[in-house]
Amino acid sequence: MAGNKERSFIAIKPDGVQRGLMGDVIKRFEQKGFKLVAAKFLQASEELLKQHYIDLKDQPFYSGLVKYTSSGPVLAMVWEGLNVVKTVRVMLGETDPADSKPGTIRGDFCMQLGRNLIHGSDAVASAEKEIALWFKPEELVAYNSCAESYLYE
């Protein structure tokens, strides 16, 4: 797997935290075979979220997204594995839960776009940027999972 290892930034938003869905979300990523390498539970500041969502600053929903995501605690995580960015995006479902298929996180747990539970990096480059924004390098834990030989050839 070494040549295909990548990381993705995932954040469970205040609606997922308040609804008690953190464990369900983590379980799905673990069951898939991804490895958690960093996590922190925090109340994200509006300033951090403005930087995180900077690519959306010209969208009409930008300020509401920043305000909502800063309204309660979030669980910020870094997951590692083969094609993790692309695979996680499929597991999340469409941004609008109404368009998400059953079996996806948003398809199973969400009702409306403004409460879509979770953020996942949309590309490897954005994942690297988001990880650097939310985590210091020393907060990322490098370790070999005993399951890797059962997951990868």
| Residues marked as catalytic | 119
The CA–CA distances, whole Å, from 27 to 23, 76, 114, 121 equal 6, 15, 24, 19
In 3D, which of 15, 26, 76 has the Cα closest to residue 49? 76
Residues placed in the known binding site? 13, 61, 89, 95, 106, 116
User: 91 with 30: CB under 8 angstroms?
Assistant: no
Residues placed in the known binding site for ATP? 13, 61, 89, 95, 106, 116
Rounded to the nearest 10°, the torsion over CA 31, 13, 53, 33 is -10
Q: Which residues contact 115 (CB under 8 A, 6 or more apart)?
A: 13, 15
The partner residues of 74 in beta bridges, in order of sequence, read 42
- State the alpha helices, DSSP H only, in 43-147: 46-52, 62-69, 84-92, 105-109, 124-134
